[in-house]
Amino acid sequence: MSDMPLKARTRLDRELTTLRDNVLKLSHLVDGAIERSIQALREADVNLARQIIADDEQINALRYQIEQECYALLVLHQPAARDLRAIVTAIHIVVELERIGDHARGIAKLAIPLAAEPPLKPLIDVPRMAQISREMLRAGLQAYLDYDADLAARTALRDDEVDQLDEQVYRELLTYMLSDPRNISRATYLLWVSHNLERIADRMTNICERVVFMVTGEIVESGDR
Protein backbone atom coordinates (compact mmCIF):
# COMPACT_ATOMS: atom_id res chain seq x y z
CA MET A 1 0.00 0.00 0.00
CA SER A 2 1.28 3.48 -0.85
CA ASP A 3 2.15 6.02 1.86
CA MET A 4 0.30 8.79 0.00
CA PRO A 5 -2.47 10.64 1.89
CA LEU A 6 -5.90 9.00 1.88
CA LYS A 7 -7.49 11.73 -0.26
CA ALA A 8 -4.78 11.40 -2.91
CA ARG A 9 -5.01 7.59 -2.70
CA THR A 10 -8.77 7.73 -3.25
CA ARG A 11 -8.37 10.03 -6.24
CA LEU A 12 -5.71 7.83 -7.80
CA ASP A 13 -7.83 4.71 -7.31
CA ARG A 14 -10.75 6.45 -9.00
CA GLU A 15 -8.60 7.55 -11.94
CA LEU A 16 -7.08 4.08 -12.29
CA THR A 17 -10.58 2.64 -12.49
CA THR A 18 -11.44 5.13 -15.24
CA LEU A 19 -8.23 4.17 -17.02
CA ARG A 20 -9.11 0.47 -16.94
CA ASP A 21 -12.61 1.25 -18.21
CA ASN A 22 -11.18 3.18 -21.15
CA VAL A 23 -8.72 0.41 -21.99
CA LEU A 24 -11.62 -2.04 -21.97
CA LYS A 25 -13.63 0.30 -24.22
CA LEU A 26 -10.76 0.40 -26.70
CA SER A 27 -10.50 -3.39 -26.64
CA HIS A 28 -14.20 -3.67 -27.49
CA LEU A 29 -13.75 -1.35 -30.47
CA VAL A 30 -10.80 -3.39 -31.71
CA ASP A 31 -12.58 -6.70 -31.19
CA GLY A 32 -15.51 -5.39 -33.22
CA ALA A 33 -13.17 -4.24 -35.98
CA ILE A 34 -11.69 -7.73 -36.29
CA GLU A 35 -15.12 -9.34 -36.35
CA ARG A 36 -16.48 -6.96 -38.97
CA SER A 37 -13.38 -7.18 -41.16
CA ILE A 38 -13.83 -10.93 -41.48
CA GLN A 39 -17.54 -10.42 -42.11
CA ALA A 40 -16.74 -7.97 -44.91
CA LEU A 41 -14.30 -10.48 -46.36
CA ARG A 42 -16.70 -13.44 -46.23
CA GLU A 43 -19.70 -11.51 -47.53
CA ALA A 44 -17.78 -9.44 -50.11
CA ASP A 45 -19.30 -6.37 -48.45
CA VAL A 46 -17.43 -3.36 -49.78
CA ASN A 47 -19.55 -0.84 -47.88
CA LEU A 48 -18.81 -2.56 -44.58
CA ALA A 49 -15.11 -2.71 -45.43
CA ARG A 50 -15.05 1.03 -46.11
CA GLN A 51 -16.87 1.69 -42.83
CA ILE A 52 -14.26 -0.29 -40.91
CA ILE A 53 -11.51 1.75 -42.55
CA ALA A 54 -13.25 4.99 -41.58
CA ASP A 55 -13.96 3.81 -38.03
CA ASP A 56 -10.25 3.22 -37.42
CA GLU A 57 -9.95 6.94 -36.68
CA GLN A 58 -12.09 6.39 -33.57
CA ILE A 59 -9.70 3.69 -32.38
CA ASN A 60 -6.71 5.95 -32.99
CA ALA A 61 -8.28 8.88 -31.16
CA LEU A 62 -9.13 6.78 -28.09
CA ARG A 63 -5.63 5.30 -28.00
CA TYR A 64 -4.06 8.77 -27.86
CA GLN A 65 -6.60 9.97 -25.31
CA ILE A 66 -5.73 7.08 -22.99
CA GLU A 67 -2.03 7.67 -23.45
CA GLN A 68 -2.46 11.31 -22.44
CA GLU A 69 -4.42 10.22 -19.38
CA CYS A 70 -1.60 7.86 -18.42
CA TYR A 71 1.04 10.58 -18.73
CA ALA A 72 -1.09 12.92 -16.64
CA LEU A 73 -1.37 10.27 -13.92
CA LEU A 74 2.38 9.79 -13.90
CA VAL A 75 3.03 13.51 -13.52
CA LEU A 76 0.26 14.24 -11.02
CA HIS A 77 0.62 11.28 -8.68
CA GLN A 78 4.20 10.10 -9.24
CA PRO A 79 3.06 6.54 -8.49
CA ALA A 80 5.35 3.73 -7.44
CA ALA A 81 5.42 -0.07 -7.48
CA ARG A 82 2.10 -1.68 -8.51
CA ASP A 83 0.40 1.59 -9.49
CA LEU A 84 3.33 2.58 -11.68
CA ARG A 85 3.35 -0.82 -13.39
CA ALA A 86 -0.40 -0.58 -13.99
CA ILE A 87 -0.09 2.77 -15.75
CA VAL A 88 2.96 1.79 -17.80
CA THR A 89 1.21 -1.45 -18.78
CA ALA A 90 -1.89 0.46 -19.89
CA ILE A 91 0.29 2.58 -22.20
CA HIS A 92 1.77 -0.54 -23.81
CA ILE A 93 -1.63 -2.21 -24.11
CA VAL A 94 -3.32 0.68 -25.89
CA VAL A 95 -0.44 0.99 -28.35
CA GLU A 96 -0.78 -2.71 -29.20
CA LEU A 97 -4.57 -2.44 -29.40
CA GLU A 98 -4.34 0.48 -31.81
CA ARG A 99 -2.00 -1.54 -34.01
CA ILE A 100 -4.37 -4.50 -33.89
CA GLY A 101 -6.98 -2.07 -35.15
CA ASP A 102 -4.61 -1.24 -38.01
CA HIS A 103 -4.42 -4.93 -38.89
CA ALA A 104 -8.22 -5.15 -38.92
CA ARG A 105 -8.29 -2.11 -41.19
CA GLY A 106 -5.73 -3.87 -43.41
CA ILE A 107 -8.03 -6.86 -43.75
CA ALA A 108 -10.90 -4.54 -44.64
CA LYS A 109 -8.77 -2.93 -47.34
CA LEU A 110 -7.99 -6.36 -48.79
CA ALA A 111 -11.67 -7.29 -48.73
CA ILE A 112 -12.41 -4.57 -51.29
CA PRO A 113 -10.39 -5.95 -54.26
CA LEU A 114 -11.32 -9.51 -53.28
CA ALA A 115 -15.02 -8.58 -53.46
CA ALA A 116 -14.58 -7.76 -57.16
CA GLU A 117 -13.54 -11.32 -58.03
CA PRO A 118 -15.12 -14.75 -57.55
CA PRO A 119 -14.01 -16.53 -54.36
CA LEU A 120 -10.81 -18.51 -54.76
CA LYS A 121 -11.81 -21.07 -52.11
CA PRO A 122 -14.10 -21.45 -49.11
CA LEU A 123 -12.76 -19.52 -46.14
CA ILE A 124 -12.15 -21.97 -43.30
CA ASP A 125 -8.75 -21.40 -41.70
CA VAL A 126 -8.82 -17.60 -41.95
CA PRO A 127 -12.03 -17.23 -39.89
CA ARG A 128 -10.60 -19.72 -37.40
CA MET A 129 -7.48 -17.58 -37.05
CA ALA A 130 -9.69 -14.56 -36.44
CA GLN A 131 -11.72 -16.42 -33.83
CA ILE A 132 -8.63 -17.52 -31.90
CA SER A 133 -7.20 -14.00 -32.07
CA ARG A 134 -10.44 -12.56 -30.70
CA GLU A 135 -10.48 -15.17 -27.94
CA MET A 136 -6.91 -14.14 -27.08
CA LEU A 137 -8.00 -10.50 -27.03
CA ARG A 138 -10.86 -11.10 -24.64
CA ALA A 139 -8.86 -13.40 -22.37
CA GLY A 140 -5.86 -11.07 -22.34
CA LEU A 141 -7.98 -8.10 -21.35
CA GLN A 142 -9.73 -10.15 -18.68
CA ALA A 143 -6.30 -11.06 -17.31
CA TYR A 144 -5.47 -7.35 -17.28
CA LEU A 145 -8.64 -6.44 -15.40
CA ASP A 146 -8.26 -9.31 -12.90
CA TYR A 147 -4.48 -9.03 -12.37
CA ASP A 148 -4.29 -12.68 -13.47
CA ALA A 149 -0.76 -13.49 -14.59
CA ASP A 150 -1.55 -17.18 -15.08
CA LEU A 151 -4.41 -16.42 -17.49
CA ALA A 152 -2.17 -14.00 -19.38
CA ALA A 153 0.58 -16.60 -19.71
CA ARG A 154 -1.85 -19.29 -20.91
CA THR A 155 -3.41 -16.90 -23.39
CA ALA A 156 -0.04 -16.02 -24.91
CA LEU A 157 0.59 -19.68 -25.69
CA ARG A 158 -2.36 -19.69 -28.12
CA ASP A 159 -0.21 -17.71 -30.54
CA ASP A 160 1.17 -21.09 -31.63
CA GLU A 161 -2.31 -22.12 -32.85
CA VAL A 162 -2.52 -19.06 -35.06
CA ASP A 163 1.01 -19.58 -36.37
CA GLN A 164 0.17 -23.15 -37.38
CA LEU A 165 -2.96 -22.03 -39.21
CA ASP A 166 -1.00 -19.27 -40.95
CA GLU A 167 1.48 -21.85 -42.23
CA GLN A 168 -1.37 -24.07 -43.36
CA VAL A 169 -2.99 -21.19 -45.25
CA TYR A 170 0.35 -20.35 -46.88
CA ARG A 171 0.89 -23.91 -48.11
CA GLU A 172 -2.64 -24.21 -49.45
CA LEU A 173 -2.59 -20.86 -51.25
CA LEU A 174 0.82 -21.59 -52.71
CA THR A 175 -0.68 -24.71 -54.28
CA TYR A 176 -3.44 -22.61 -55.84
CA MET A 177 -0.90 -20.15 -57.26
CA LEU A 178 1.27 -22.90 -58.75
CA SER A 179 -1.70 -24.67 -60.29
CA ASP A 180 -2.99 -21.62 -62.17
CA PRO A 181 -1.33 -18.20 -62.55
CA ARG A 182 -4.79 -16.61 -62.69
CA ASN A 183 -5.11 -17.41 -58.98
CA ILE A 184 -2.06 -15.42 -57.98
CA SER A 185 -3.68 -12.07 -57.20
CA ARG A 186 -6.53 -13.51 -55.12
CA ALA A 187 -4.20 -15.90 -53.32
CA THR A 188 -1.79 -13.07 -52.56
CA TYR A 189 -4.56 -10.96 -51.04
CA LEU A 190 -5.59 -13.88 -48.85
CA LEU A 191 -1.98 -14.42 -47.79
CA TRP A 192 -1.91 -10.80 -46.61
CA VAL A 193 -5.18 -11.35 -44.74
CA SER A 194 -3.63 -14.34 -42.99
CA HIS A 195 -0.51 -12.35 -42.20
CA ASN A 196 -2.57 -9.59 -40.59
CA LEU A 197 -4.29 -12.15 -38.36
CA GLU A 198 -0.96 -13.72 -37.44
CA ARG A 199 0.32 -10.28 -36.42
CA ILE A 200 -2.82 -9.68 -34.32
CA ALA A 201 -2.02 -12.81 -32.33
CA ASP A 202 1.59 -11.66 -31.95
CA ARG A 203 0.44 -8.33 -30.56
CA MET A 204 -1.87 -10.11 -28.13
CA THR A 205 1.15 -12.05 -26.95
CA ASN A 206 2.89 -8.72 -26.30
CA ILE A 207 -0.12 -7.56 -24.28
CA CYS A 208 -0.12 -10.76 -22.24
CA GLU A 209 3.58 -10.35 -21.47
CA ARG A 210 2.88 -6.82 -20.20
CA VAL A 211 0.06 -8.10 -17.99
CA VAL A 212 2.48 -10.59 -16.44
CA PHE A 213 4.87 -7.69 -15.82
CA MET A 214 2.10 -5.61 -14.26
CA VAL A 215 1.28 -8.38 -11.80
CA THR A 216 4.72 -9.79 -11.02
CA GLY A 217 7.15 -7.02 -11.91
CA GLU A 218 8.99 -9.46 -14.20
CA ILE A 219 9.37 -9.11 -17.96
CA VAL A 220 9.20 -12.60 -19.45
CA GLU A 221 9.06 -13.34 -23.17
CA SER A 222 6.49 -15.93 -24.18
CA GLY A 223 8.55 -17.05 -27.18
CA ASP A 224 10.07 -15.92 -30.45
CA ARG A 225 7.87 -13.96 -32.86
Is the Cβ–Cβ distance between 63 and 97 less than 8 Å?
Answer: yes
Residue span of the structural domain in which 112 resides = 6-216
Helix axes 125-146, 6-43, angle to 10 degrees: 170
202, part of any domain: yes
64-96 residue pLDDT tens: 999 999 999 999 988 989 999 999 999 999 999
Distance CA(24)–CA(221), nearest Å, equals 24
Which stretches of the chain score pLDDT less than 70? 1-4, 223-225
Could you count the other beta carbons within 10 Å of the beta carbon of residue 225?
A: 13
32-65 residue pLDDT tens: 999 999 999 999 999 999 999 999 999 999 999 9
pTM for the model stands at 0.93
225, part of any domain: no
14, part of any domain: yes
Q: What is the CATH number of the domain that holds 67?
A: 1.20.58.220
Number of domains in the chain: 1
| Alpha helices, H only, the chain | 6-43, 46-77, 81-115, 125-146, 149-157, 159-179, 184-216
222, part of any domain: no
149, part of any domain: yes
Distance CA(81)–CA(221), nearest Å, equals 21
Cβ burial of 121 (10 Å; 0-12, 13-18, 19+) is middle
